[in-house]
Chains A and B, each alone.
Chain A
Amino acid sequence: MIELEGIAKTYADGFEALKGVSISLDRGMFGLLGPNGAGKTTFLSILVLALEPSAGRRIYDGLDAASRRTRAEIRRRIGFLPQDYHPIGHLTGREYLNHCARLREVPLGRAALRRRIAELLEGVGLERAADRRSGEYSGGMRRRLGIAQALIHSPRLLVVDEPTAGLDPEERIRFRMLVTAAATDMTVLLSTHIVEDVEATCPRLGVIGRGRLLFDGAPTELLRRANGRLWQMPAEAPLPDGAVEVTRRADREGGIERIIYKDGDVPGAVPRPPTLEESYGAFLALQGIEAAPADLPEGA
């Protein structure tokens, strides 16, 4: 169990990135959504001890990160795949994992470690590329190797930051499966702006915006909140009073239609069953948070 309580972070230039985020994470997948600049990366950095919060407590399986004595032990329990991850390009995948294992003091003998690395490489589908230099890997292969390195020491908490950004659909699916498999006996925090990834893997998600945890619950709860309140209408039609635009997308005839959120009937609009993506968009829109272009659902 990982408990974060009242985590706040104000950078030295006065920017308040987090304003008292509290959350507790148990075994399983947790998806973290939020637009750019919402504080996701700050939150993750604080979670993996890469950044010291300005306030708040962090407890990892009863170990308080505020104590200098426990930090080494906490680090040993964390696996992390950062957004800008690159393995050491001069090493092969196998060598790199071996190095990471030694760096993290994996208590395995030579043979056992070799087996563990082989299993991981097989698990991430890199067994054939294991003896190629990782500098020659594609983006997807690098991410998979990143997952392997994050898992090499069997962490209790796996944090993956934007793991599928830039991957093709096939790689994304493969990646989701990997992460899901890992979550059977550990806590996995998946930070992303791709709602589809969260929808496919996470029974629980959180939404961060303006430095606060705005939502923490099941995806169905987010869907429920939008259910019956989403409408689609031509883009050129005026926005009804009290409605907020969630997103825009191309219609079947090649025009642009927009999807709006409004309680109650909207004349001229067609009711629409919400997707998680649209529910998330509606949630942000209701919070007055404008999603950055990167956060717009695909097709808008």
Chain B
Amino acid sequence: MSVTAAFITHEIRTQWRSLRFRVLAAAYVLAGGFPAGLLYVRHHSAKLTVGGATYAAEVFFLLPVFTAVVSLLISVDAVTREQDEGSWSTASLAGMSSAGYLLRRWLALQAVLLPLTVVPVAAAGIATAAALGPGAVTWSPLLGPWLMHVVPIALAHSALGLGLGTIAGGMINAVLLGGLVLWLVPTLINSVLAHFGIHFWGGWLETGWFSLAVRRITTPYSAADPWPAFPQEMSESPWDWRVAAEQYLSLAALPMALAVATLGFAVRHLRRTRPDVRPLRIGPGHPLRNFLLIVARLRERYTSDPRPSRSDLLTLGAALLLALGGLALLVERAEHYQHLGEARFAMETTGKPDPTPNDVVPGRWRVEGTLGPDRGIDLTVTAEMLNHGTVPRGHLAFTLNAHVRVETAAAREGTLRVSRHWDRLSVDVSPPIPPGGSREMRFRLRGEPAEDRMFAGYTAAYWGFHKTFGDHLHAKFPRDLADLSQAYQVPALSPRRIDLQAADLTPVPRYQTWKLYPDEEMPSLLRMPEEVFFPLADVSLDLAAPPGFLVADPCGGLVSPARPGPPGHLTSHCRLAVADLTVAGGHYLELPRPGGTGATVAVLPFHAALGELHLGFLANGTSRLDEAWPGLGDLRQTVVLEWPSADAFGLDAGIAAYSNRWADPGRAHITVQGELVRMTELDMIRNETLNPDTLVAELVAGRLARRRPAAPNDAQLVRMLLRNLVLQRMGKVPDGGAVVMGIRTGTEAMLSIPPPEHSYAMSYWNNRFPALVTALRYRMGEEALRGAVEDVLSRADAKPLTRQELYAAIEKHSEAPIGRMIQDFFVEGYLPQPILEGVEFHHSGEGWRVTGRMRNQTQGEALCKIVLTTDLGRLQTTARADGKQPGDFSFSTPRRPQAVMLDPDRECHRLVRSAGGDRVFFDGVER
């Protein structure tokens, strides 16, 4: 038995027999495995169908902190107990070096700690198997975080504990010294690195997630406050070890460097031989005698061991080198992403190059080559650009993923000069493309397309890259610096999913300028304009797909390992905006298509039942599409994929779940790109059935929108208009009709706005807009409105559809005058609040005369029906009122009146507050 094995045996034996260890271990196992047990108990009542990934994640939210604490305590206890018990003086006479002793001790501790850390993880696996069956246990979410997070934490914190315990020589001293090391050293490192624009924020133990997890576990679920909900939904898509490893490594490097350095220094402080230090000569009457005596003793206590062996010195050197290596790795990562960010920032600042002129549009566009087998692509793009203008054009600009290289670029005729900056390609062809002429170019592309995730959290996503990186670049204080060492890349080709966007596959013509513009609400915030021009091209694809993946494209191309035939070439052709080109895929299970006319629905294998629940009607073939909007064809070419969020790649994947919980309840659960439909995984795992009509509406809206892309600022309006039109055609008219109801006092202002450009105005899109579309339908008729939409979508115009064009078409197709309505409600955003005033009932002769006013309490035109009910039926008239001018009305009837009602059929677009004011009953008293 080797000495190391003896150390291990000894450690296992002594720890196992120690009551302190047993209590600590039991607490660790119980606390660490508790979420898995709780999830098992609650899994029948959970609002989500959670799989193995959630069981694993819930355990791993807690385990890092627990592991760190247990590792520190056990290791400090192990070393100080040995010294306290008095056996140290005999152990210190061992012939081995101090380094040999300490390293063996550390290794031996792992023999105790690592099996201990496995127990809660195993509990998660067992709970998964017990709740969902053995097939539901997915190993990667269990093994990955354990191997790359928990184990390194145990290794590092035990090294830290052993080192601190050895140096400090006692539990309390070790804790104090540990606090100093873990706070002071990173602070010093950051102070130095701040001069180079680098800052490490740490976060290895994920204490934020830990405390949130504790809160979630201990707080009952409330729909009003879904943040602390338990369990946490996680993606069941296959794990991407490389992406996770990159993030774990960046988090672990600094603490591990500290731990290694501490252990290295501990080799020099084992105190097998107390050193001889130069004595302080302190006179008996010295005023600071006692203090100086303490200092002298501390010097003696903490001076390093004398006459270290060669192996001790080598170990210390190696430890310091390793620690420096860890630090260097972080610095290198920070520098790497700093360079990437600077390149992007610089390009965004310059606004170069000039975009492609609008009259040069793509013609035939062919993308062929190979995807994978790893994360790379090797493609050849044959791109034809047509000059529809009147002057020769020699300059073109394209967008291409920054991680895709242009290996070669050539033109069929003439020459072609490409200059590349960040994701921008400036292409100058010579001779220029003549008016009416074309130029075919060929690009050979290679690389690993990916998205750089430079900043953690959603704040950066809101502020945008330019501001966030600009703040980092021009930071006044170290605290303003972002930790770029924790940046990572989300690969377009990953075991988790294949998500190749157009710029990952081909240079995408850029028509919009790259010049930053000030945000409307916050002019100091500069934003990059999005593309607004999406000319259609004849796109063809011929791509060798990576084996084992189901891969689809928006033209209806599909490669599936489940289908017979040679493995995979994605071959398709359609008319599509180049910017809409995409290839999506993953490891999926296809739902059966009994009729053969339905869509291909592919879901993650664990979610087969959920896929059937939510999307089965699409696979079975659907006639609803035709009901919703005639002439759209069937779903044979449509591929519906369950879609894991890009956030699933991040270690803070819980953020995706939280954003989903807060998301607009009326949102689309699917996104449509041509024939390719993606349904968010986090929607899929909900246990309540999604309304199929909303899915169909989104599908139809997507198909309609494909006919003609909308301008980015108006895309949300067009999408919502189409979606609401389809829903209302299918009979899903809002309960309030054209009336906006159920609004809390004080929130009216949120609705009195024009249709926003963004989707997060939930009150508007879910409450007011359906009522507004209903009012529009009532006013102009459903077919006229549909005709207006068909009109704008069918225009063979390469320019994107704008709201102004849409409004003009609606006005044109409406037989009733509708200009004021559009101006007031769509352009100005007014929301009338009409009420009845001054209603009087007069009996004159043989009949009754009823008069009154409709007064609009806010702005905009209220054109509403006024109804008088009598004992023999009802009379009606129309009143018009705006903010300044009330509308008078009067009725004459021989019958006794009962009540006057404002718009009882809810056809008039207005806001009804709970205060009433829309009906007056005749109480028998004449006025």
Residues of A within 8 A of B (CB): 9-15, 45, 48-54, 66-69, 71-73, 75-76, 78-82, 84-91, 95, 98-100, 102-105, 110, 133, 146, 149-150
Q: A11-B279, A52-B276, A110-B1 are in contact. Are A76 and B95 (CB under 8 A)?
A: yes
Could you tell me the distance in whole angstroms from the C-beta of B44 to the nearest C-beta in chain A? 45
Q: Is the CB of B17 within 8 A of A71?
A: no
Q: Is the CB of B281 within 8 A of A14?
A: yes
Could you tell me the distance in whole angstroms from the C-beta of B145 to the nearest C-beta in chain A? 33
Q: Is the CB of A49 within 8 A of B279?
A: no
Q: Is the CB of A85 within 8 A of B279?
A: no
Q: Is the CB of A102 within 8 A of B280?
A: no
Name the residue of chain B whose CB is nearest to the CB of A74: B95
Contact of A48 among B10, B93, B293 (CB under 8 A): B93
Q: Is the CB of B282 within 8 A of A13?
A: yes
Q: Is the CB of A13 within 8 A of B18?
A: no
Interface centre among A13, A51, A53 (most CB of B within 10 A): A13
What 4 pairs between A and B have smallest CB-CB spacing? Answer: A102-B6, A86-B86, A12-B300, A90-B17
Cβ of B215 < 8 Å from any Cβ of A?
A: no
24 contacts between A and B (CB under 8 A): A11-B279, A11-B300, A12-B300, A13-B282, A14-B280, A14-B281, A49-B93, A50-B92, A50-B273, A68-B307, A72-B309, A75-B93, A84-B86, A88-B14, A88-B85, A90-B13, A91-B14, A98-B6, A102-B1, A102-B7, A103-B3, A103-B6, A110-B1, A149-B90
Q: A11-B300, A12-B297 are in contact. Are A75 and B94 (CB under 8 A)?
A: yes
Residues of B within 8 A of A (CB): 1, 3, 6-7, 10, 13-14, 17-18, 82, 85-87, 89-97, 272-282, 293, 296-297, 299-300, 306-310
Alpha-carbon gap, A48 to B87, bound state (A): 15
Residues of A within 8 A of B299 (CB): 12
Alpha-carbon gap, A73 to B96, bound state (A): 9
Q: A103-B3, A105-B3 are in contact. Are A14 and B309 (CB under 8 A)?
A: no
Q: Is the CB of B310 within 8 A of A14?
A: no
Contact of A103 among B94, B276, B297, B310 (CB under 8 A): B94
Could you tell me the distance in whole angstroms from the C-beta of A29 to the nearest C-beta in chain B? 20
Could you tell me the distance in whole angstroms from the C-beta of A81 to the nearest C-beta in chain B? 8
Q: Is the CB of A99 within 8 A of B89?
A: no
Q: Is the CB of A73 within 8 A of B273?
A: no
Residues of B within 8 A of A100 (CB): 90-91
Q: A71-B309, A103-B3 are in contact. Are A52 and B85 (CB under 8 A)?
A: no
Alpha-carbon gap, A73 to B93, bound state (A): 10
Q: Is the CB of B96 within 8 A of A105?
A: yes
Q: A14-B282, A72-B95 are in contact. Are A86 and B274 (CB under 8 A)?
A: no
Alpha-carbon gap, A298 to B226, bound state (A): 79
Contact of B85 among A67, A71, A80, A86 (CB under 8 A): A86
Contact of B296 among A13, A68, A146 (CB under 8 A): A13
Could you tell me the distance in whole angstroms from the C-beta of A256 to the nearest C-beta in chain B? 38
Residues of B within 8 A of A14 (CB): 279-282, 296
Name the residue of chain B whose CB is nearest to the CB of A161: B89
Interface centre among B10, B87, B272, B299 (most CB of A within 10 A): B87
Given contacts A80-B93, A103-B94, 4 further A-B contacts (CB under 8 A): A11-B279, A11-B296, A12-B299, A50-B92
Name the residue of chain B whose CB is nearest to the CB of A134: B87
Chain B at the A interface: SS class? loop
Q: Is the CB of A80 within 8 A of B307?
A: no
Q: A11-B279, A51-B273, A68-B310 are in contact. Are A150 and B90 (CB under 8 A)?
A: yes
Could you tell me the distance in whole angstroms from the C-beta of A173 to the nearest C-beta in chain B? 24
Q: Is the CB of A104 within 8 A of B307?
A: no
Could you tell me the distance in whole angstroms from the C-beta of A254 to the nearest C-beta in chain B? 42
Name the residue of chain A whose CB is nearest to the CB of B303: A12
Q: Is the CB of A105 within 8 A of B94?
A: yes
Residues of B within 8 A of A53 (CB): 276
Residues of A within 8 A of B92 (CB): 50
Could you tell me the distance in whole angstroms from the C-beta of A84 to the nearest C-beta in chain B? 5
Residues of B within 8 A of A84 (CB): 86
Could you tell me the distance in whole angstroms from the C-beta of B99 to the nearest C-beta in chain A? 11
Residues of B within 8 A of A12 (CB): 277-280, 296-297, 299-300
Name the residue of chain A whose CB is nearest to the CB of B16: A90
Contact of A85 among B3, B10, B90, B293 (CB under 8 A): B90
Alpha-carbon gap, A90 to B86, bound state (A): 13
Alpha-carbon gap, A49 to B277, bound state (A): 15
Alpha-carbon gap, A87 to B89, bound state (A): 11
Alpha-carbon gap, A274 to B3, bound state (A): 53
Contact of A68 among B17, B87, B281, B309 (CB under 8 A): B309
Residues of B within 8 A of A80 (CB): 89-90, 93
Name the residue of chain B whose CB is nearest to the CB of A85: B86
Q: Is the CB of A71 within 8 A of B307?
A: yes
Name the residue of chain A whose CB is nearest to the CB of B311: A72
Contact of B10 among A50, A51, A99, A133 (CB under 8 A): A99
Could you tell me the distance in whole angstroms from the C-beta of A82 to the nearest C-beta in chain B? 4
Q: A12-B277, A90-B13, A103-B6 are in contact. Are A72 and B90 (CB under 8 A)?
A: no
Could you tell me the distance in whole angstroms from the C-beta of A210 to the nearest C-beta in chain B? 17
Alpha-carbon gap, A102 to B8, bound state (A): 11
Residues of A within 8 A of B277 (CB): 12
Alpha-carbon gap, A89 to B87, bound state (A): 10
Q: Is the CB of B309 within 8 A of A89?
A: no
Alpha-carbon gap, A86 to B96, bound state (A): 22
Q: Is the CB of A49 within 8 A of B96?
A: no
Q: Is the CB of B87 within 8 A of A52?
A: no
Residues of A within 8 A of B279 (CB): 10-15, 54
Q: Is the CB of B86 within 8 A of A104?
A: no
Q: Is the CB of B90 within 8 A of A13?
A: no
Name the residue of chain A whose CB is nearest to the CB of B4: A102
Contact of B87 among A67, A86, A98 (CB under 8 A): A86
